[in-house]
Amino acid sequence: MNFSSNDWSCCALISIYFLFWRVSGSNPSMNSRPNIVLFMADDLGIGDLGCYGNNTMSTPNIDRLAREGVKLTQHLAAASMCTPSRAAFLTGRYPIRSGMSSSFNMNRAILWLGGSGGLPTNETTFAKLLQQRGYKTGLIGKWHQGLSCASRNDHCYHPLNHGFDYFFGMPFTLLNECQSTKTPEIHRALRIKLWISSVALGLVPLLLLIPRFAGWFKVPWTVVIITALVAALFFTIWYSSYGFTRRWNCILMRNHEIIQQPMKEEKVNSMILKEALSFIEKYKRGPFLLFVSFLHVHIPLVTKEKFVGRSKYGLYGDNVEEMDWMVGKILDVIDKEYLRNNTLVYFTSDHGGRLESQEGKFQLGGWNGMYKGGKGMGGWEGGIRVPGIFRWPVILPAGKVINDPTSLMDIYPTLSYVAGAMLPQDRVIDGKNLMPLLEGRVFQSEHEFLFHYCGIYLHTVRWHQKDCGTVWKAHYVTPKFQPEEGKACYWSGLCPCSGDVTYHDPPLLFDISRDPSEEHILTPDNEGLFDSVIKKMEEAVKQHRKTLMPVPQQFSVFNTIWKPWLQPCCGTFPFCGCDKEDDTIPTGL
Ligand SMILES: *[C@@H]1O[C@H](CO)[C@@H](O)[C@H](O)[C@H]1NC(C)=O
Ligand SMILES: *[C@@H]1O[C@H](CO)[C@@H](O)[C@H](O)[C@H]1NC(C)=O
Ligand SMILES: *[C@@H]1O[C@H](CO)[C@@H](O)[C@H](O)[C@H]1NC(C)=O
């Protein structure tokens, strides 16, 4: 594709936009603060849903939301990894502002529940804003924003410290190891024997040192070191076979209490649904904010038997369909309680599907539709373009589709606005209030530039040229796919943000509004249009950088390593384990 001056002729439309521009200061929804229900899927691709063009996957409930509300087609996550994207969602700010983005390729999210990084306590989440406005706020499902700072039970980063009145779910995230079939339990007697043997073995090298320091005789150093290594090896093997990843990361909490360690993964989704329904029943007098943060559709794709084999796409598809069914159950209770007209419902995914998730021929990760790339990549559309659906009957038009760029960070000021809260004035908020656009009071998204980071590295800039609606995208850095002709980083499993990446000077420029699949690289042209677009973007980057302040990095190496003294544990460390939950599931859930 080549540049032509036609690209600019559309700018004449500017005058038309202004004719329709009605700036309204009044807020029609102010006197009736709505209830708010937010659904966030984990790793779901935009191409997995019926309402985003998938005609072979069955997602009738999410499709119904789109039919009854507004569907955003250029809705963008602020990062293509869970922890930073969710931090931005909760705070309305680029994750680099809160230190929730990484300079290391190895730790781009929180890796251990017993680590010390997390969403800083001086960040103000939308839950906190709404709580201050009298909302009852609940988080049910995944958190993944850290837990403790300095001691096991300080829970400084806990959802209850970030504006939620109620929390039920996983403070961490689903992992393959959460599946009990992958890490068989060792029974208690054997565990104790192994533990005693490890301690005994560990004492041997110390005993060997005694004669040396007592001045009797000297055991050669090599012998001491070898026995120490053997003891360490034995300890490590014991530790791994004990299933520590599952036991330590896959836990379930209610508020500050650990109720299952390890979590029973086969029951957890039914429990999440049960909790969501009872939260609505309990607070139906409103106003309430319920954030349902699904464990779906992250691997290992924990799916009820009832749904296994239902879809055409193996376990992945079954898991998507189960999540859709859960959305339906929650929408049903909203209807049953006559809350529909007074409830703003939102559905999204934290970022795109993970292309590298495959097991043999089986697909375990999502489908990003026509968009290039996926989870973990900084700027390619497939990693960050996600579903975005808003339903609020009577206030928002039904069946409306908006193609302008919007961000998950916009939820923050949008919720603040509908709840009549005040935005914090002492910090930059990157999101924009979406209500005028959703209601049709304005015809364009307020976003002019969006910056797409991979960790702390700026990879891509998006320019929504408002006078003509064109959306330009410039990639300064792109990941190197492996194999080279492939579509993702299959060999390493996740594309790096720095190091082995490709730098582009001049940047790769695309017109996303006409070429959403990013296939046609625009080339410098005679009229100098290419240069002027790039110049405009570079100026924007300069301005943006001026607003960034140095903050402590939450994913530093020290923060992300596992610290025994921070490990949440019910029971006696290191034999953590309990099951305090009455997990009888009502029929039908
Ligand atoms: C629907 O989703 C499945 C599962 O992710 C995917 O394999 C398939 O290609 C999608 N179909 C369409 C038409 O997008
Ligand atoms: C919701 O609003 C619509 C349109 O105004 C109305 O017909 C319907 O009865 C309302 N439903 C409830 C439960 O209030
Ligand atoms: C939070 O505290 C850190 C230092 O601990 C500071 O750098 C940062 O600016 C603070 N953030 C806000 C939003 O006040």
Q: Say if CB 445 and CB 76 are below 8 A apart.
A: no
Residues 404 and 347 in one domain: yes
- Average pLDDT in the 355-375 region? 92
Q: Which ligand is nearest to the CA of 337?
A: 2
Looking at the domain assignment, is residue 22 inside a domain? no
Determine the Cα–Cα distance for residues 430 and 2; give it in Å rounded to an integer: 33
- Average pLDDT in the 106-117 region? 92
Looking at the domain assignment, is residue 534 inside a domain? no
Looking at the domain assignment, is residue 557 inside a domain? yes
Specify the pLDDT at position 198. Answer: 78
Report how many domains make up the chain: 2
Q: Which ligand is nearest to the CA of 93?
A: 3
SS3 472: strand
Residues 312 and 359 in one domain: yes
For residue 5, name the pLDDT band (cuts at 50, 70, 90): very low
Could you tell me which residue, 8 or 446, shows the higher pLDDT? Answer: 446
Looking at the domain assignment, is residue 420 inside a domain? yes
Look at ligand 1, atom 11, and give the residue with the nearest C-alpha.
Answer: 54
Tell me, using a 6 A CB cutoff, whether residue 393 lines ligand 2: yes
Show which of 242, 265, 284 is a domain's final residue: 242
Residues 366 and 221 in one domain: no
Please tell me the distance between residue 48's alpha carbon and the centre of ligand 1 in angstroms. Answer: 6
Determine the Cα–Cα distance for residues 342 and 280; give it in Å rounded to an integer: 13
Share of the chain above pLDDT 70, in %: 92
Least confident of 89-103, 527-541, 575-589: 575-589
- Average pLDDT in the 482-488 region? 91
For residue 184, name the pLDDT band (cuts at 50, 70, 90): low
Residues 84 and 159 in one domain: yes
Tell me, using a 6 A CB cutoff, whether residue 92 lines ligand 3: no
Please tell me the distance between residue 565's alpha carbon and the centre of ligand 3 in angstroms. Answer: 25
Q: How far is CA 56 from the centre of its chain?
A: 26
132 pLDDT exceeds 50?
yes
* Nearest residue to 538 via CA among 548, 526, 549, 530: 530
Specify the pLDDT at position 187. Answer: 66
Query: Could you tell me the two tokens for 240?
Result: 């791994």
Residues 234 and 272 in one domain: no
Specify the pLDDT at position 186. Answer: 59
Please tell me the distance between residue 94's alpha carbon and the centre of ligand 3 in angstroms. Answer: 14
Q: Supply the residues annotated as catalytic.
A: 82, 144
The residue range of the domain holding 226 is 188-242
Tell me, using a 6 A CB cutoff, whether residue 317 lines ligand 1: yes
Q: Say if CB 346 and CB 390 are below 8 A apart.
A: yes
Looking at the domain assignment, is residue 382 inside a domain? yes
- Average pLDDT in the 81-87 region? 98
Specify the pLDDT at position 318. Answer: 97
Specify the pLDDT at position 17. Answer: 37
Ligand 2 pocket test: pick from 29, 68, 339, 341 the residue with the most ligand atoms within 8 Å of its Cβ: 341
Tell me, using a 6 A CB cutoff, whether residue 120 lines ligand 3: yes
Q: Say if CB 431 and CB 412 are below 8 A apart.
A: yes
Q: Where are the alpha helices (DSSP H) in 112-215?
A: 126-132, 188-214
Determine the Cα–Cα distance for residues 206 and 204; give it in Å rounded to an integer: 5
422 pLDDT exceeds 70?
yes
Residues 261 and 402 in one domain: yes
Least confident of 13-17, 47-51, 203-207, 419-423: 13-17
For residue 18, name the pLDDT band (cuts at 50, 70, 90): very low
Tell me, using a 6 A CB cutoff, whether residue 548 lines ligand 3: no
- Average pLDDT in the 549-563 region? 94
For residue 232, name the pLDDT band (cuts at 50, 70, 90): confident
Residues 229 and 272 in one domain: no
Residues 402 and 429 in one domain: yes
Looking at the domain assignment, is residue 462 inside a domain? no
Specify the pLDDT at position 375. Answer: 97
1 pLDDT exceeds 70?
no
Eight-class DSSP state of 157: T
Look at ligand 3, atom 3, and give the residue with the nearest C-alpha.
Answer: 551
For residue 219, name the pLDDT band (cuts at 50, 70, 90): confident
Tell me, using a 6 A CB cutoff, whether residue 337 lines ligand 2: no
Please tell me the distance between residue 98's alpha carbon and the centre of ligand 3 in angstroms. Answer: 7
Show which of 218, 242, 266 is a domain's final residue: 242
- Position in ligand 3 atom list of the atom nearest CA 424: 13
Specify the pLDDT at position 190. Answer: 72
What are the φ and ψ backbone dihedral angles of 73, each rounded to 5 degrees?
A: -100, -10
Please tell me the distance between residue 76's alpha carbon and the centre of ligand 3 in angstroms. Answer: 26
Looking at the domain assignment, is residue 362 inside a domain? yes
For residue 11, name the pLDDT band (cuts at 50, 70, 90): very low
Per residue in 296-330, pLDDT (tens digit) is: 999 999 999 999 999 999 999 999 999 999 999 99
Share of the chain above pLDDT 90, in %: 76
Ligand 3 pocket test: pick from 122, 149, 554, 556 the residue with the most ligand atoms within 8 Å of its Cβ: 122
Specify the pLDDT at position 305. Answer: 92
Specify the pLDDT at position 13. Answer: 41
Looking at the domain assignment, is residue 392 inside a domain? yes
Tell me, using a 6 A CB cutoff, whether residue 374 lines ligand 1: no
For residue 27, name the pLDDT band (cuts at 50, 70, 90): very low
Q: Which ligand is nearest to the CA of 122?
A: 3
Specify the pLDDT at position 326. Answer: 98
Please tell me the distance between residue 231's alpha carbon and the centre of ligand 3 in angstroms. Answer: 44
Tell me, using a 6 A CB cutoff, whether residue 60 lines ligand 2: no
Report the helix count and the strand count for the chain, using DSSP H and E. 16, 19
Please tell me the distance between residue 366's alpha carbon and the centre of ligand 1 in angstroms. Answer: 8
10 pLDDT exceeds 50?
no
- Average pLDDT in the 363-372 region? 95
Residues 37 and 71 in one domain: yes
- Position in ligand 1 atom list of the atom nearest CA 53: 14
Specify the pLDDT at position 238. Answer: 67
- Average pLDDT in the 424-428 region? 97
Per residue in 65-81, pLDDT (tens digit) is: 999 999 999 999 999 99
Tell me, using a 6 A CB cutoff, whether residue 57 lines ligand 1: yes
Residues 199 and 273 in one domain: no
- Average pLDDT in the 24-38 region? 67
* Nearest residue to 513 via CA among 464, 445, 562: 464
Hey, how many other C-beta atoms are within 10 angstroms of the C-beta on 314?
Answer: 16
Residues 219 and 269 in one domain: no
Tell me, using a 6 A CB cutoff, whether residue 55 lines ligand 1: yes
- Exposed, middle or buried by CB within 10 Å (0-12, 13-18, 19+), for 360? exposed
- Average pLDDT in the 355-360 region? 88
- Average pLDDT in the 539-545 region? 98
277 pLDDT exceeds 50?
yes
Residues 216 and 298 in one domain: no
287 pLDDT exceeds 60?
yes
Q: Say if CB 528 and CB 536 are below 8 A apart.
A: no
Determine the Cα–Cα distance for residues 255 and 247; give it in Å rounded to an integer: 19
Specify the pLDDT at position 16. Answer: 37
| Average pLDDT for the chain | 91
CA-angle at 132, arms to 441 and 553, nearest 5°: 90
- CATH at residue 298: 3.40.720.10
Q: What is the pTM of this model?
A: 0.90
Show which of 242, 262, 288 is a domain's final residue: 242
